Amino acid sequence: MPPGPCPPLQVNESPSAPDSQPPGPDSGILDSEPAHVDASVEQSPTLSHIGRYALKGPLGQGGLGQVHEAWDPLLSRTVAVKTLQFDIDMTERVSLDGLFLNEARAAAGLNHPHIVTIHDAGLSTQGVYIAMERLHGRDLRQALAAGIACFNVESEAELEVLNQVAVAAGARAPVSIRVNPNVDPMTHPYISTGLKGSKFGVAHERTLHTYRRAASLAGLRVVGIDCHIGSQITQEAPYLDAMDRMLDLVESVEAAGIAIEHIDFGGGLGIDYNGDQPPGADTLWPKLLAKLDARGFGQRRLMIEPGRSLVGNAGVCVTEVLYLKPGEQKNFCIVDAAMNDLPRPAMYQAYHGIVPLRLRADTATSIWEVVGPVCESGDWLGHARSLSLLGGDLLAVLSAGAYCMSMASNYNSRGRAAEVLVSGTAARLIRRRETIQDQLLAEQDADAG
């Protein structure tokens, strides 16, 4: 939601207000218990679920890469499920008072935002898998001390640095190497991460050499392998190709005497933004799991990152029409949301559906460019949209549940939007709207003594 007025929902806007009861099975926030659950899964009212997955443990509240053992009733097997990484939408959501915790964190020696968030939320770090390229120096020492379950290493240089830090700390860091399988995910080039020309991962042909080096270093312990070929993937073929190439590497690494405990296959499964037809998880994953079984890896710990496919279409950005500006070539609908609130159109030329909250019969339908008020020609939310509008109308920009709030910024000194969690007819504020005072909080007088 933009910095403008909130939609007319009943929302308790007090950050200190007590939380409501946890959502029940019919709340709409979590799916109800799967219709077909194997008898090996305990039928307990406390059993947690993510979609059809029955978690054999408590549900983590947004832990970074938190891994859960879960029963999949569709596949009739136990799987490992990794919850959403902070990149999806959790990086800034430390708490409603997060902007005022900087001094306390510094005093506690907490530095890296991912690790800080886990500590502030009171979560265990024992199931946390974190990308090595995001850490350096004090961050690495902090992650080792916190007991991070695995460092996902993306280059040979990172291995050397992590080994030095671990040896100095008298520790052995668990590592998984991210492989670049050189597979085209057939998506936007900015979110294509598995091709040889991308910056991510160790090149396929250097993988065995890198694992041998990792296994030789005293401060490292090899535990896994991972890849992530891209985002908003809408075809099966790239996944099937990447799985084959990953398993080829597992075989060659283990033939060299280096055990691989887990395989992290990443995510990237797309959603329907504008008639997109990504494969359903219930059709894609049986094919991938069949490959695992056929090649003898059926009992290996497998992790996936469903990310966008879970939350992308669960969120909307609600914005108010500020002005209507008809023109000779184009008609502009200027709204109070902007590229800082919802960056995907400006960054990826992405399509988001835009619908009015109230249909109008009292004004003609026109073709509008839906744009924000920021002084950038790239500040647009939708091109050539057929809408019946008047000033003050509220619009919903759809499919805003992923890579929107997490990418929002304070560009043009605009405060980031409030976030409201809606369950049925109930709505609750979960992040208050930023103020200009929040933005100025970290600034200091250059002339102060």
Residue 368: pLDDT band (50, 70, 90) is very high
3-state secondary structure string across 84-141: CCHHHHCCCCCCCCHHHCHHHHHHHCCCCHHHHHHHHCCCCCCCCEEEHHHCCCHHHH
Q: How far apart are CA 353 and CA 349, in angstroms?
A: 13
Do the beta carbons of residue 246 and residue 181 sit within 8 Å?
yes
Give the three-state DSSP class for 145. Answer: helix
17-29 pLDDT, tens digit each? 333 333 332 332 2
In one-letter notation, the amino acid at residue 311 is V
Run of H or E residues at 262? strand 262-267
Q: Which residue has the higher pLDDT, 257 or 125?
A: 257
Do the beta carbons of residue 107 and residue 129 sit within 8 Å?
no
> Domain 316-398+408-440 sits in which CATH superfamily?
Lyase, Ornithine Decarboxylase; Chain A, domain 1 (2.40.37.10)
334-345 pLDDT, tens digit each? 999 999 999 999
Q: Which two tokens stand for residue 24?
A: 């029940």
369-419 pLDDT, tens digit each? 999 999 999 999 999 999 999 999 999 999 999 989 989 999 999 999 999
Q: Which residue has the higher pLDDT, 30 or 260?
A: 260
Read off φ and ψ for residue 267, nearest 5 degrees. Answer: -150, -130
Identify the DSSP state of 278: P
208-250 pLDDT, tens digit each? 999 999 999 999 999 999 988 777 888 888 888 888 888 999 9
Q: Which two tokens stand for residue 91?
A: 């990086």
Question: What pLDDT is attached to residue 139?
Answer: 76
Q: What is the mean pLDDT of the chain?
A: 74
Query: Rounded to two decimals, what is the model's pTM?
Result: 0.69
User: Does residue 363 carry a pLDDT above 50?
Assistant: yes
Nearest to 268 by CA among 312, 233, 303: 233
- Give the long-range contacts of residues 135-140, CB within 8 A, separation 24 or more: 136/161, 138/109, 138/111, 139/111, 139/112, 139/115, 140/165
Most confident segment among 46-50, 68-72, 111-115, 440-444: 440-444
The CB density around residue 441, as the number of other CB atoms within 10 Å, is 11
Question: What pLDDT is attached to residue 86?
Answer: 32
- In percent, the amount of the chain with pLDDT more than 90 equals 38
By residue count, the chain amounts to 449
| Residues in a beta bridge with 335 | 321
165-205 pLDDT, tens digit each? 999 999 999 999 988 876 655 555 655 555 556 666 788 88
Give the three-state DSSP class for 439. Answer: helix
- 86-311 in CATH: which number? 3.20.20.10
Q: How far apart are CA 340 and CA 275, in angstroms?
A: 26
Active-site residue identified among 150, 317, 333, 375: 375
Domain ranges of the chain: 86-311, 316-398+408-440
Read off φ and ψ for residue 146, nearest 5 degrees. Answer: -75, -10
Q: Which residue has the higher pLDDT, 389 or 124?
A: 389
Do the beta carbons of residue 89 and residue 70 sit within 8 Å?
no
User: Does residue 328 carry a pLDDT above 50?
Assistant: yes
Question: What pLDDT is attached to residue 42?
Answer: 34
Residue 91: pLDDT band (50, 70, 90) is very low
Most confident segment among 50-64, 256-270, 349-363: 349-363
150 is catalytic: no
Question: What pLDDT is attached to residue 283?
Answer: 86
Over residues 61-69, mean pLDDT = 45
Residue 30: pLDDT band (50, 70, 90) is very low
| Residues in a beta bridge with 131 | 152
Q: Which residue has the higher pLDDT, 302 or 380?
A: 380
